Structure 1
């Protein structure tokens, strides 16, 4: 029930953005812990090489279905084993990611080697230093 509620809220939030976008994108570039956790679960559970930092959305759908339907005891244990530190926040992140790939018709998610912290660092520290140099304040 909670996942259904989350999906509805996320869909409404995405609609409110009124983005003018194409319907189908081949790739979505994911950053942050939730997308990386999804990839790790998919790779580990299917014994796929971790070097390939991508996964197809069908694999994400399988994870959300396990979360939604409870999955088998073994599937649930496997999720907990693979991401014990994120187990309580993971469902929300996976559902958000699923709604985003649905909205944009994404086929494959590619995980960035960098995350939110690096983006914050670049935006707040490096760009400010560049502005100081441009304004002869350095």
Structure 2
């Protein structure tokens, strides 16, 4: 198998049932990949700030998720909070979703279709442009 990029508007994506037959279907597939790549960047931004988002979420719950009121201050000072099953489950679901979306994008690029490849790159660019400020540090 030759490992070169090619241009074709009828490359199957994920299964033989998803084979674009028209240029419009191919464009729809590329738009799907752009949105999926943007979703991946948004999930990465959420994952980078998971602890801070979890603390914000817990403030609005009737039953506090955090063990004590000083957890937010302790987290800012670098201390670790005690293990929490709800938080661990949410983090595991987020990580699994990140892995799944990442592998779907990888399989799309591995088709070696230039349009699919550029769609994934375009989605990563737009996603980074929109949510890129969230990935480098903490939420304000």
TM-score per shorter chain, which class? Answer: under 0.3
Return the TM-score normalized by structure 1: 0.28
Return the TM-score normalized by structure 2: 0.28
**Which has a greater percent of strand?**
1
